[in-house]
Amino acid sequence: MKKRALFLILVFILAMPALHAKDSLLQRADIRMALTHIEKNYERYLGKQIEIAEIPAPPFKEEKRGRFMASEFKRIGLQDVHTDKIGNVLGWRRGSSDRTLVISAHIDTVFPEGSDVTVKREGHRLIGKGLVDDSLGLMGLLALPEVLDAANIKTELNLLFVATVGEEGLGDLRGVKYLFEKGPLKNRIDAFISIDLADPQEITNGALGSKRYRITVKGVGGHSWEDFGRVNPAHALGQIIANFTSKTTSTDPKTSYNIGRIGGGTSVNSIPFEAWMEVDMRSANREALKTLEQVFLKSVREGIAVENKFRSSSKSKLEVEIEAIGDRPSGTTLESDALVRAAVWATKGVNLKPKLIMRSTDSNIPISKGIPAITVGGGGKAGNLHSPNEWYNPTNAHLGLQRILLLVMYYDEMKIPSTAGVR
């Protein structure tokens, strides 16, 4: 026999237990019971999702919803429920091994304080700010332990449920950064799953990196007529933006930039003494992101120099403050990693087609540290995320939760040795 044929047979034999495991898992009575339980109780879970969405959780003001999650974690019987120093809410469902899998979702929304967070029904759709992003994920953290208990399923893995703070915008992943960089559990987590957004086919295994800056330009200000000729911070921002956005960016790997906020000045007939803007830059590739960042910083310096030179006869000069306000590292959990394989099986297990994608989520942090991590959609269909008209269609949404249950159980059965503490 040829070496290659022998090799293929060997690969096939080695793959057998895995194939067998995933088929037998679907036949297990307790797993079937759990899957049925999810479908039967889905209306109630959806109610819980709406209840969560109607508790405001503006950026940096997640306490109220955090307290609700803590009381819910206790109600469903999680152990050692507590809120850590940064505001994450944690609860355990202990297993029989010393390995720990985190299942998380984020508490914060992008909507400012005072937003109307009432959920409304329009036909098959529900409209609500943050209803999907990420009340759907938070609901999953409450439903899963209940389902496991109802089907009397024990795991080897310790399941640590974590509702994180600061996933969105300027939160800069501060909750998950604390968990993996400063908190008491930082060296004890073996793998990480975040439930975020809806699509039950998506498996985010690529961490989209981003860099964010706030640029503040300051001048002497003055009257728009009397003092015309002095440096103008708003004009300088214009120079910077024109300069930066006219430089080409790469499409492979995809790289993006966005001036998302801009402001300053006091009145239409005053030269502003201050103007500012916030910029977001992203890339699938670490090097491309670095290059883009350098192009941006160079554009800032050049734009300031142009305005200073143009107004040099006035003897006024601009000052610039460059403040880094966001840094999300990039990376990938390989397709061959057990966690991604388990997610692919689980997706097929509910008869959906897995889609591996790249995005910026809480998983960026564990991924950048070499800890297997993925983000999965919670189920249903959604749109207009981060906008006041965020909508959710919960048709067949139970498939999302069923997939996550299978994912956790497949991963548990794979018995991946712990690497926590030796990293």
Residues that bind Zn ion (CB under 5 A): 133-134, 196
**Cβ proximity to Zn ion, 330 vs 375, nearer residue:** 375
**Cβ proximity to Zn ion, 171 vs 303, nearer residue:** 171
**Cβ proximity to Zn ion, 50 vs 416, nearer residue:** 50
Q: Which of 278, 407, 256 is nearest to 343 (CA)?
A: 407
Minimum gap (Å) between residue 93 Cβ and Zn ion = 23
Q: Cα 101–105–108 angle (5° rounding)?
A: 145
Minimum gap (Å) between residue 386 Cβ and Zn ion = 9
Distances (CA, A) of 405 to 43, 269, 307, 412, 422: 18, 61, 58, 11, 28
Minimum gap (Å) between residue 240 Cβ and Zn ion = 30
Spatial contact of 213 and 266, defined as CB atoms under 8 Å apart: no
**Cβ proximity to Zn ion, 65 vs 235, nearer residue:** 65
Those residues with Cβ within 8 angstroms of residue 152's Cβ, 6 or more apart along the chain or in another chain: 30
Minimum gap (Å) between residue 66 Cβ and Zn ion = 16
Minimum gap (Å) between residue 290 Cβ and Zn ion = 26
**Cβ proximity to Zn ion, 175 vs 349, nearer residue:** 175
**Cβ proximity to Zn ion, 133 vs 190, nearer residue:** 133
Reported for 278-281, long-range contacts at CB under 8 A and 24+ positions apart, including other chains, are 278/212, 278/213, 278/214, 278/215, 278/325, 279/212, 279/213, 279/215, 280/210, 280/211, 280/212, 280/326, 281/210, 281/211, 281/212, 281/255, 281/256, 281/257
Rounded Cα–Cα distance for residues 233 and 221 (Å): 9
Write down how long the chain is: 423
Those residues with Cβ within 8 angstroms of residue 195's Cβ, 6 or more apart along the chain or in another chain: 103, 104, 105, 134, 136, 137, 140, 141, 375, 376, 377, 378, 404
Helix axes 42-53, 29-40, angle to 10 degrees: 60
Rounded Cα–Cα distance for residues 77 and 374 (Å): 26
Minimum gap (Å) between residue 168 Cβ and Zn ion = 6
**Cβ proximity to Zn ion, 72 vs 133, nearer residue:** 133
**Cβ proximity to Zn ion, 164 vs 316, nearer residue:** 164
Q: Hey, what are 370's tokens?
A: 């070499």
Spatial contact of 138 and 88, defined as CB atoms under 8 Å apart: no
Minimum gap (Å) between residue 134 Cβ and Zn ion = 4
Minimum gap (Å) between residue 409 Cβ and Zn ion = 25
